[in-house]
Amino acid sequence: MSAAATRRPDTSRARSWWGWGYADAHPDDAECAAMGALLPGSLNRPLPIPRIADLSIAEPAVTPPSSLVHLVTADPQVRAAHAMGKAYRDVIRALRGRPGRIPDLVAYPTGDREVADLLDWAGEHNVAVIPFGGGSSVVGGVEYRGDAHRAVLSLDLTSMNRVLEIDIASRSARIQAGALGPVMEGQLRPHGLTLRHFPQSFEFSTLGGWLATRAGGHYATVHTHIDDFVQSLRVITPAGAGTSWRLPASGAGPSPDRLFLGSEGALGIITAAWMRLQERPRHKASVSVAFSDFHRALGAVRVIAQSDLAPANCRLLDPGEALLSGASRNGSTILVLGFESATSPVDDRLASAVDLARSHGGRCQTHTVDRNAPADLAVSAWRSAFLRMPYLRDGLARMGAIVETFETAATWDKIPALVDDVRTEVSAAALKATGHPATVNCRLTHLYPDGAAPYFTVAAAGRPGDEIEIWDHIKAVADEVLHRHRATITHHHAVGRDHRPGYDLQRPKPFALALHAAKDALDPHRILNPGVLLD
Amino acid sequence: MSAAATRRPDTSRARSWWGWGYADAHPDDAECAAMGALLPGSLNRPLPIPRIADLSIAEPAVTPPSSLVHLVTADPQVRAAHAMGKAYRDVIRALRGRPGRIPDLVAYPTGDREVADLLDWAGEHNVAVIPFGGGSSVVGGVEYRGDAHRAVLSLDLTSMNRVLEIDIASRSARIQAGALGPVMEGQLRPHGLTLRHFPQSFEFSTLGGWLATRAGGHYATVHTHIDDFVQSLRVITPAGAGTSWRLPASGAGPSPDRLFLGSEGALGIITAAWMRLQERPRHKASVSVAFSDFHRALGAVRVIAQSDLAPANCRLLDPGEALLSGASRNGSTILVLGFESATSPVDDRLASAVDLARSHGGRCQTHTVDRNAPADLAVSAWRSAFLRMPYLRDGLARMGAIVETFETAATWDKIPALVDDVRTEVSAAALKATGHPATVNCRLTHLYPDGAAPYFTVAAAGRPGDEIEIWDHIKAVADEVLHRHRATITHHHAVGRDHRPGYDLQRPKPFALALHAAKDALDPHRILNPGVLLD
């Protein structure tokens, strides 16, 4: 089948060039000020929203050939909106009028041939190519640093956003990499299918971005990463293109797809993928469970993760995180537990999981088993806070605050001490650096039989003008704690440029040698996303 | 903890040097003759069991240095037993007195340092190194072909067979790669844990072999391959050694482990791994379901695979396979269905799966829900036939027959035509090549929401002296059918040397470039398992 074309990204609602998501969803000045008042040491009034017109944007250093010129724009508005991702560092740089290097050009290819032609041209002219999907990187994944290239091209794939084929029997679809979450799901819905990959950035990130960064998604257990839903990848590199066969599984050599999943645009451009889909769930049930002790709650989620109950949602919010999201106001640790199935009722599984939680001191809150019933209040509070959080971060950034997140994963034997040490040492570092007490909250976002993925949120008042240096210092302290516990530098945000020091320490030598060799072979002119994963 | 040492492989029961498994488990001459009588065109009496003493085995072309000499043997018996794997081709070559190249030396390292030293020495002296675990390769994975090296060293890892550490909280263990299945499980059992990886070769293959070949294991759905149970790998390459961090999951760059899983000894030697373990199941239930139509049965297993029931066993035997294994004598297609859990009863899941099978025309046979009850007759018949099959193959090989298997995987849209075409075209090729009718049976061994893994068994009378040429021709016809349907050259037997033509066609160009580059970087002297995966 050939799905309806949606050739251009939806522009009906303006995206913020400097902050998260939609421009009209940002808190206004009064709301920013109200939030800032809760954080001692904040500014009295918000920093103004930055304007592209105030930036001095140089003329492009290169001109594309006539054969490609129709794909490329040098519009300063577009270029500025492609200069950076959406990390706290990026927001501050924009607020301070010093965004990352503005790309010389932005290209919108509409097909593989055009991507290959753009790579050929870039290779010949020493133009760095930064692949760009939704631009929601929070790790410096979509910007250019350094000066080793003559110019910088942001390769925006969002014009390649169609579901090209659907195979109902195998419940899979071939999807172009530039499809934003809702654009893709909108094309799958009429077929009764869904990818069910819903990262926090769902509206503002693309399939290709998820694949290139091994994004964590909807499911808290079992199939937690996009990797597991990949059937075949189409990859275009400067040294040639290829498509892996559509296979449900294979033992023929090392997985070809797994080398490109997580390659963050440094080895090639993923232009399409056959993805494994699912029927929409018909049975859902969710509940929240309160614990008076965070460490006992850790025991509860461990036994749930080691059972075969496979909850779709099993997120543990520490008291600070529960308070911030409105899931609890009394200092409880909250477990948000949800089950779903397209084939069979899930009430028994939910009940079994609740039993396990109770045996570790959990107290069950409202229990919802009907998908149409109003959800558990704590569950729904958490859900809406989850989606609103990045906007609030930007509002606090305008108040001069330092608000950022980082996430990791480790085996269960390390989790309790890891979480405690991050809280203690990062709070101390933030206090020392800012002179103001900081909050460091933690939630577990994904669970495994052998470990879990903690996600930390740091909030502290900054010092005007020094926010980035302070954050970089706090992050270095956090990285040191992660490294000491051998916890990964990232479970699902990717490495980008910001996590490079931690990544380099973590990567085993034989794989480092192989990855460098692969880079040399596939990207001989070193134009692909320079500085990401590799120097 | 430090588990009890089991430093040397169990030698209490003699292994066959020329055929599968234990020497005393092979059918005797009378049984061979009885089997042969069922296959028109077979020999009248079995070929004699070959003797190592009849081989002319040259003196080793190299001498190890004094620092390594204690690890190395030049015993002709040991060398002959390391010359080949256990494919049908290997058995015939042994029966005909023309085994593959006999390695000059066999080394039994006891630790990483010794492995590294052996690689250093081999690299300096142009000695090919063939990693050897249980030696059960059926794809030419553990032999040397060609003459580009001065000598051949078989690197037998079975002296590195200990469970080194257990982490109960994370339910994982660090295990040396040379542990044979039973040796490993014997050390895990006292801790109430199990890897539950039970390939047909379980007794005669090692953890390292499973990892290097991406072995398919116990589970018919969800976690079908050993890959999913890997937490960390220790890899030693000629260019350096490294260990990936113990992580339940990570999004930090491409998975370092996935490049070595399936590398078949061509990129490095896996010497140990942290593996994810499980509690032993406390709840089990199994049943067999009969279908009068194979294609309707395909529909049944597809809906079961696309449900979230996750059976541990869900193997579909076509009428020939069911007959051969004794699971059915009336021409039915048989579905062997089993569920297991360490945490909760599985009866409901079994009942739901049976309902799905019934809605596709399945007729339920004896239903067993108590793990201590005698199993469903069809289920137990299939299980014992499964383990006995390789021995029978060797007996038939002694009768001059051609008996071999191959396996693949493809998406559901291709499965019905793929199975039909393999049956038709391979039968025709075998008839034409041998002058005798051949049987081509099929079972589905592993199932996925998007596809399945068919496993084929071919049996035909051969022509004395031409068995290998005939089999190679039949296999080439089979490969052509697989390639036409874009079905993988192997789902879990690995590529080795026998599947290279199919693998080379299947491997996408960008990954081929990366793999060659990784080989150059990690194995600059090209000593590691030459000819496997790469030239």
B258/A258 CB distance under 8 A? yes
Higher pLDDT, B128 or A386: B128
Q: Let me know whether B290 and B144 are in one domain.
A: no
Is the pLDDT assigned to residue B284 strictly greater than 60?
yes
Cβ atoms of B142 and B132 closer than 8 Å = yes
Cα–Cα distance list, B466 to A172, A388, B96, B472 (Å): 44, 72, 10, 10
Q: Do B342 and A308 touch (CB under 8 A)?
A: yes
| B242 touches A: beta carbon within 8 Å | yes
- B248 sits in the region (left: phi over 0; alpha: psi -120 to 50; else beta) called alpha
- Rounded Cα distance, B369 and A448, in Å: 28
> At which residue do the structure tokens 């044979």 appear?
B180
In Å, how far is B21's CA from the nearest CA of chain A?
Answer: 23
**Cα A439 to Cα B30: distance, rounded to the nearest angstrom:** 80
- Class of residue B420 by CB neighbours under 10 A (exposed 0-12, middle 13-18, buried 19+): middle
CB atoms within 10 A of CB A391: 18
**Are both B227 and B304 inside the same structural domain?**
no
| Residue A1 pLDDT class (50, 70, 90 cuts) | very low
Whether B262 sits inside 8 A of A278 (CB atoms) is no
Task: Please name the residue of chain A whose CA is at the shortest distance from the CA of residue B340.
Answer: A308
Own/partner contacts of B24-32, CB < 8 Å, gap of 24 or more, are B25/B391, B26/B391, B26/B394, B26/B395, B27/B391, B27/B392, B27/B394, B27/B395, B31/B395, B32/B395, B32/B396, B32/B398, B32/B399
Residue A366 confidence (pLDDT): 65
B35 occurs within a structural domain: no
Contacts of A309 in chain B (CB under 8 A): 343-344
Report CA dihedral (A8, A9, A13, A19) to the nearest 10 degrees. Answer: -140
Answer whether B172 touches A (CB < 8 Å). yes
Q: Are B133 and B256 found together in one domain?
A: yes
- Which H helix or E strand runs over A32? helix A29-37
Q: What is the pLDDT of residue B529?
A: 98
Helical residues (DSSP H) of B399-494, grouped into ranges = 415-434, 467-484
Residue pair A492/A482 in contact (Cβ under 8 Å)? The answer is no
Using DSSP's 3-state secondary structure scheme, residue A347 falls into: helix
**A151 interface with B at CB cutoff 8 Å:** no
pLDDT at B13: 87
Q: Is residue A83 part of a domain?
A: yes
% of chain A beyond a pLDDT of 90? 89
Query: Please, what's the b/e burial string for B272-308 (b: 16 or more CB within 10 A of its CB; e: otherwise)?
Result: bbbbbbbbebebbbbbbbbbeebeebbbbbbebbbbb
What does the alpha-carbon distance between residue B52 and residue B18 come to, in Å, rounded to a whole number? 9
> Could you tell me if A237 lies within 8 Å of chain B, comparing CB atoms?
yes
The verdict on B291 and B269 lying in the same domain is: no
Determine, yes or no, domain membership for B533.
yes
Same domain, B212 and B108: yes
User: What gap in Å lies between CA B295 and CA B416, rounded to an integer?
Assistant: 7
B259 contact A CB<8A: yes
* B199 and B295 fall within a common domain: no
SS3 content of chain B, % helix, strand, coil (to 5): 35, 20, 45
* Residues pairing with B155 in the sheet: B107, B131
Tokens describing residue B301: 């297993």
Provide the pLDDT for residue A376: 63
Q: How many alpha carbons lie under 13 Å from residue B430 in its C-beta half-sphere?
A: 26
- List chain B residues with CB under 8 Å of A522: 510, 513-514
H-run or E-run covering A340: strand A333-341
φ, ψ (nearest 5 deg) of residue B27:
-60, 145
Query: Phi and psi (nearest 5°) for A418?
Result: -60, -50
User: pLDDT per residue over A481-506, tens digit each?
Assistant: 999 999 999 999 999 999 999 999 99
A507 and B247 within 8 Å at the Cβ level: the answer is: no
Mutate to test the interface with A, among B235, B250, B482 (most CBs of A within 10 A): B250
B391 and B298 within one domain = yes
Q: Using a CB-CB distance cutoff of 8 angstroms, which residues of chain A are in contact with residue B506?
A: 245, 252
Asked if B486's CB is within 8 angstroms of A240's CB, the reply is: no
Assess B405–A contact: CB distance below 8 Å, yes or no: no
Report yes or no on B10 lying in a domain: no
CA distances from A50 to A15, B91, B476 (A): 14, 75, 66
A271 touches chain B (CB under 8 A): no
A-chain residue closest to B410, CA distance: A247
- Chain B: closest CA distance from residue A317 (Å): 20
CA distance B465 to chain A (A): 31
Q: Does A501 touch chain B (CB under 8 A)?
A: no
pLDDT digits (tens, 9 = 90+) for B180-217: 999 999 999 999 999 999 999 999 999 999 999 999 98
Smallest Cα–Cα separation from B399: which of B105, B142, B32, B9? B32
Q: What integer pLDDT is reported at residue A370 of this predicted model?
A: 42
Does the beta-carbon distance from A522 to B513 stay under 8 Å? yes
Chain A residue with minimum CA distance to B250: A491
pLDDT digit string, tens, across residues A510-527: 999 999 999 999 999 999
Segment 376-395 of chain A within 8 Å of chain B by CB: none
Cα angle: B74, vertex B78, B81; to 5 degrees: 135
Interface pTM, i.e. ipTM? 0.95
Average pLDDT over residues A197-213: 97
DSSP string, A40-105: TT--SSPPPPP-GGGS--PPPS----TTTGGGEE--HHHHHHTS--SSHHHHHHHHTT-PSPPPSE
**CA separation for the pair B102, B265 (Å, rounded):** 18
**A525 DSSP assignment:** T
Cα(A140)–Cα(A146) distance, integer angstroms: 13
Average pLDDT of A91-97?
96
Coil, helix or strand at residue B210: helix
CA closest to B238 among chain A residues: A510
- Residue A308 in contact with partner chain B when CB distance is under 8 A: yes
Domain of A46: which CATH number? 3.30.43.10
Asked whether the beta carbons of A168 and A158 are under 8 A apart, the reply is: no
**Between the CA atoms of A37, A43, A46 and A47, what dihedral angle is there, to the nearest 10 degrees?**
-160
CATH code, B308: 3.40.462.40
Q: Report yes or no on B51 lying in a domain.
A: no
What is the predicted pLDDT for the residue at B338?
Answer: 96
Predicted pLDDT of residue B41:
87
d(CA B246, CA B229): 12
- Residue B478, pLDDT > 80, answer yes
Task: Name B454's bridge partners.
Answer: B444
Q: Residue for token digits 């291709």?
A: B414
Q: Evaluate if residue B57 carries a pLDDT over 70.
A: yes
Nearest CA in chain A to B506: A245
Is B496 part of a structural domain of the chain? no
Residues B175 and B186 placed together within one structural domain of the fold: yes
Please give the average per-residue pLDDT across A324-352, as a whole number.
Answer: 93
Which residues on chain A are in Cβ contact (under 8 Å) with B517?
Answer: 514, 517-518, 520-521
Residues of A in contact with B263 (CB under 8 A): 253-254
Buried b vs exposed e over A255-279: b needs ≥16 C-beta within 10 Å?
A: bbbbbbbbbbbbbbbbbbbbbbbbb
Picking from A258, A448, A520, the nearest residue to B248 by CB comes out as A448
- The predicted pLDDT at position A471 comes to 96
Contact yes or no for B163/B240 (Cβ under 8 A): no
3-state class of B143 per DSSP?
Answer: coil
> For position A217, what pLDDT does the model report?
85
Residue type, B429: A
Examine residue A441 and state whether it is found in any structural domain, yes or no: no
Report pLDDT digits (tens) over A415-431.
999 999 999 999 999 99
Supply the range of the domain harboring residue B331. 283-484
Interface test with A, best of B255, B269, B414, B499 (most A CBs within 10 A): B255
pLDDT band at B374 (very low <50, low <70, confident <90, very high): very low
Chain A residues lying within 8 Å of B515, measured CB to CB: 253-254
Of A454-468, A483-497, B262-276, least confident by mean pLDDT is A454-468
Q: What is the pLDDT of residues A361-378, one digit of tens each?
A: 999 986 544 444 445 667
Asked whether A240 and A247 are in contact (CB, 8 A), the reply is: no
Of the candidates B240, B250, B258, which has its C-beta nearest A254's C-beta?
Answer: B258
Alpha carbons B322 and A303: distance in angstroms, whole number: 40
- Record: contact B258-A256, CB cut-off 8 A: no
A355 touching chain B per CB within 8 A? no
Interface contact B449-A488, CB threshold 8 A: no
> Is A247 close to B510, i.e. CB distance below 8 A?
no
In this prediction, residue B366 carries a pLDDT of: 65
- CB count in 10 Å sphere of residue A75: 11
B521 lies in the same domain as B473 = no
Show the DSSP H helices in B330-466 as ranges. Answer: 347-358, 377-398, 415-434
Listed range (A120-129, B152-161, B200-209, B456-465) with the worst mean pLDDT: B456-465
User: Above pLDDT 70, what percent of chain A?
Assistant: 96
Given CB atoms, is A315 within the 8 Å cutoff of chain B? Answer: no
Which DSSP category does B180 fall into? B
Tell me, yes or no, whether B148 and B235 share the same domain.
yes
pLDDT surpasses 70 at A104: yes
Alpha-carbon distances of A200 from A197, A383, A390, A410, rounded to whole Å: 10, 10, 9, 21
Residue with tokens 């395909």: B298
Tokens of A332: 């409880």
Report the predicted TM-score, pTM, of the whole model to 2 decimal places: 0.95
Among A137, A314, A513, which would you mutate to test the B interface (most chain B Cβ atoms within 10 Å of its Cβ)? A513
List, for residues B394-434, the tens digit of each pLDDT value. 999 999 999 999 999 999 999 999 999 999 999 999 999 99
Residues from chain A that touch B340, judged by Cβ atoms under 8 A, are none
Beta partners for residue A193, in sequence order? A279
CB pairs under 8 A between A and B: 315
Listed residue (B18, B271, B117, B492) closest to A508, CA to CA: B271
The answer to whether B521 contacts A517, with C-beta atoms less than 8 Å apart, is: yes
Query: Nearest Cα to A49, choosing from A31, A28, A33?
Result: A28
**Considering only CB atoms, which chain B residues are within 8 Å of A279?**
306
User: CB of B379 within 8 A of CB of B322?
Assistant: no
Number of neighbours of residue B405 by Cβ within 10 angstroms: 19
Q: CATH no. for residue B147?
A: 3.30.465.10
The answer to whether A260 contacts chain B (CB < 8 Å) is: yes
How many residues appear in chain A? 535
Using an 8 Å CB-CB cutoff, list chain B residues near A138.
none
**Number of domains within chain A:** 1
Collapsing DSSP to helix, strand or coil, B81 comes out as: helix
Nearest to A274 by CA among A259, A288, A257, A290: A257
How far is residue B226's CA from residue B213's CA, in Å, rounded to a whole number? 9
Min Cα separation B97/chain A (Å)? 31
| Interchain contact A302–B (C-beta under 8 A) | yes
Residues B224 and B373 in one domain: no
Residues of A in contact with B174 (CB under 8 A): none
Strands A127-132 and A151-156: parallel
pLDDT, tens only, A243-265: 999 999 999 999 999 999 999 99
Which of A4-18, A135-149, A213-227 has the weakest average pLDDT? A4-18
CA dihedral A12, A13, A18, A20 (to 10 degrees): -130
Separation CA B384–CA B392 (nearest Å): 12
CB A250 within 8 A of CB B502: no
CA-to-CA dists, residue B159 to A291, A466, B65, B75, angstroms? 49, 58, 20, 17
| Residue A458 phi, psi (nearest 5) | -110, 135
**Are B327 and B467 part of one and the same domain?**
yes
| Chain B residues close to A491, C-beta within 8 Å | 249-251
pLDDT tens figures, A10-40? 557 899 999 999 999 999 999 999 999 988 8
For residue B38, being part of any structural domain is answered with: no
**Tokens standing for A397?**
């950034």
